Amino acid sequence: MKNITILIFCLIQNIGITQVNSIYNNTQQILKGPYLGQKPPSDTAELFAPGIISTNENEALFGIFNNGRYIIFDRTSDDFSDYENYPIYICQEIEGNWSDPTLTEKLGKPWYFNHPDPVNNEKIVYTWWLPLDEYGKIVNIDLWSVRFREGEWEKPTKLPYPVNTKCTDAWPSVTKHEILYFHSSREGGMGSADIYRSIPEEGEYKSVENLGSTINSKWLEHDPCLSSDGRFMVLSSSREGSLGKDDLFVAFLKENGEWSNPVNLGNNINSEASENRPYLTPDGKYLFYTSTRYGNLDIFWVDAKIIESYRHRKYK
């Protein structure tokens, strides 16, 4: 009887492993077209490029450029043993066909080195995990900027106080008006991390403001992602009303300049696990994000039109 029980357990375990592995199967052999030639998602989130980008390791998106033909993401092992090195990969469309994910030569460096279509005088704001202590551990996470001039990237510059502090300041999102949003765990916040905004003054970020109790709570608010026009924001939060550890919410900017209460984006996007790192494609068509619903970090995407269905709730 004991042997039968063990056999049944092993069969169930193998079935579970097979089901998980089948999630990452991709029968599409020739990858052509925008977004690795993947079929565009509907208003229900789908795993992005299973078996190609999303695997049984841990992946999270950095950015998608050139009409979806240049994809930058990080991939770490299932035990995060190489997390400190932060391996960054690139997929790009070359003469109509997609390359396999390739580890960048700038291992562990910020993705701006590989920005495919920089514009002269363009400024990129990004997160860089520096400096490292003598043991190679990350001791601070700050916001940096770099400008592209005359065909070359200039030396990166760390944004000054009060944008950066001794605490974590990360996940920048910049609107077309160059208004900077980010999250920070600095003192004086409402929760373990809050979302802040910095409006440029004479081209510089000289002051910051906490977005207040409408957006922030006693819980965790992080990873803001603004639409290009700054009219709505997708954020990750563990506030009351979340389906899991943290969910994606959307808030809309009112005509009076105040933000609406964040609304949970529902189970078409969220799960009982963790959803974070939202990213809107430059054309505004798709929302990408990271989820742990299958046990590791995976990249999902969904038609961004679903956001508009929540707009009528914005003044609640």
Domains: count for the chain? 1
100 CB neighbour count, 10 Å cutoff: 9
Q: Looking at the domain assignment, is residue 1 inside a domain?
A: no
How far from each other are the two terminal CA atoms of the chain, in whole angstroms? 60
Q: What's 51's domain CATH number?
A: 2.115.10
pLDDT computed for residue 156 by the predictor: 81
Q: Looking at the domain assignment, is residue 9 inside a domain?
A: no
Q: Looking at the domain assignment, is residue 201 inside a domain?
A: yes
Q: Looking at the domain assignment, is residue 292 inside a domain?
A: yes
pLDDT computed for residue 16 by the predictor: 43
User: Which pair of structure tokens corresponds to residue 280?
Assistant: 């809107």
CB 87 within 8 A of CB 101: no
Q: Looking at the domain assignment, is residue 139 inside a domain?
A: yes
Range of the domain at 81: 30-313
Q: Is the dihedral of CA 211, 213, 218, 224 positive or negative?
A: negative
* CA 278-281-286 angle, 5° bins: 75
Residue segments in the chain with a per-residue pLDDT below the cut of 50: 2-20, 107-109, 314
pLDDT computed for residue 92 by the predictor: 87
pLDDT computed for residue 67 by the predictor: 66
Q: Looking at the domain assignment, is residue 18 inside a domain?
A: no
How far is the C-alpha of 96 from the C-alpha of 291, rounded, in Å?
30
Q: Looking at the domain assignment, is residue 126 inside a domain?
A: yes
Our measurement of the distance from residue 180's CA atom to the centroid of its chain's CA atoms, rounded to an integer in Å, reads 16
CB 203 within 8 A of CB 180: no
102 CB neighbour count, 10 Å cutoff: 11
Residues 156-198 pLDDT 10s: 888 999 999 999 999 999 999 999 999 999 999 999 999 999 9
pLDDT computed for residue 108 by the predictor: 41
CB 144 within 8 A of CB 159: yes
Q: Looking at the domain assignment, is residue 61 inside a domain?
A: yes
pLDDT computed for residue 41 by the predictor: 97
Global pTM value: 0.85
